[in-house]
């Protein structure tokens, strides 16, 4: 298998309830990770093992889920205690699979579920849940699963995964060469002055948060927007990101004075959910080369769309 892994000390994740970090004592050489966590946090060995298995423990900035790992006595251990405890509540729903063949799987991600592991939870995310689903249904052989793009925790809609290592490189190249077209629907505050426009503000970071920057002062980012319908106090917008920066659509809309409804991080008013949905993904199939169009209807609770409101 290929499990998506990254340096979990990077920004962008929701903070845990509390974080604890220490340098392993050299006298603890050959001690198990679970034993060291148990002693440092003054918790039972069983509780320490559960935290490690859940994905709340990092060794030298990397996720470590083996409680029996023997320490060298030079590592830095970080424990991010999950605010809701080690509750394993999320599993992938086979009914939400939009497309599957021997090479690809497309899934309609729910709002409120991370695409990948967080620094305190490696269980309740779409990648891990899909891997468990494939493991249960794929027989004895361990499944292969690779991810090349993600959606924000509170964004719903189409995500595509690779199931075949021989197709993985070509799928990655399609994303890198911007051969993958991603369409989003967003209910935004107010009524934009223009019927369509292209946002080109750079994306950067300030004080640990993503922000828009003038051209040349951050990472280049471009998004095409088109208004599909206007209502009193809100508008439905089609967003087509040309680049793929973190929070790009949300930041560009907030900069334009029309934040996504429910996007309190960037100035939007409160709502039951972030009103941003990845409704369509168009790409060349990495094996056949044929044009593949994957669509996900707006979720339950989404305002009814006018018949003329189509991103196509």
Residues that are catalytic: 152
Whole-angstrom distance, CA of residue 67 vs CA of residue 57? 10
Helix, strand or coil, per DSSP, at residue 104? strand
DSSP 206: E
Which residue is associated with the tokens 């206007």?
A: 230
What would the two tokens of residue 35 be? 């034993």
Asked if 1 and 142 touch (Cβ cutoff 8 Å), the reply is: yes
DSSP 120: T
Pairing of strands 156-162, 104-109: antiparallel
Residues contacting 131, CB < 8 A, separation 6+: 1, 3, 143, 145
Asked if 196 and 225 touch (Cβ cutoff 8 Å), the reply is: yes
Nearest one of 248, 249, 300, 305 to 112, comparing CA atoms: 300
């Amino acid at each position: 298998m290929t499990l998506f892994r990254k340096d979990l000390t990077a920004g962008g994740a929701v903070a845990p309830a509390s974080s604890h970090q220490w340098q392993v004592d050299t006298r603890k050489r050959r001690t198990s990770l679970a034993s060291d966590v148990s002693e440092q946090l003054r918790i039972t060995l069983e509780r320490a093992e559960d935290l490690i298995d859940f994905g709340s423990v990092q060794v030298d900035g990397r996720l470590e889920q083996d409680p029996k790992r023997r320490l060298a006595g030079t590592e830095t251990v970080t424990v991010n205690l999950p605010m809701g405890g080690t509750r394993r509540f999320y599993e992938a729903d086979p009914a939400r699979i939009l497309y599957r063949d021997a090479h690809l799987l497309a899934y309609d991600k729910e709002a409120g579920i991370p695409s990948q592991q967080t620094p305190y939870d490696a269980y309740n995310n779409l990648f891990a849940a899909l891997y468990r689903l494939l493991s249960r249904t794929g027989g004895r052989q361990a499944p292969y699963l690779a991810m090349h793009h993600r959606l924000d925790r509170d964004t719903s809609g189409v995500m595509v995964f690779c199931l075949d290592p021989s197709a993985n490189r070509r799928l990655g190249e399609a994303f890198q060469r911007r051969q993958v077209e991603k369409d989003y629907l967003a209910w935004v505050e107010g009524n934009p002055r223009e019927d369509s426009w292209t946002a080109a503000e750079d994306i950067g970071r300030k004080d640990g948060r993503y922000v828009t920057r003038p051209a040349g002062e951050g990472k280049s980012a471009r998004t095409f927007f088109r208004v599909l319908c206007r209502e009193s106090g809100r508008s439905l917008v089609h967003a087509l990101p040309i680049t793929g920066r973190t929070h790009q659509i949300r930041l560009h809309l907030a900069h334009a004075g029309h934040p996504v409804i429910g996007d309190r991080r960037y100035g939007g008013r409160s709502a039951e959910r972030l009103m941003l949905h990845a409704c369509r993904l168009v790409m060349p199939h990495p094996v056949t080369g044929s044009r593949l169009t994957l669509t996900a209807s707006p979720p339950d609770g989404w305002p009814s769309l006018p018949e003329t409101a189509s991103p196509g």
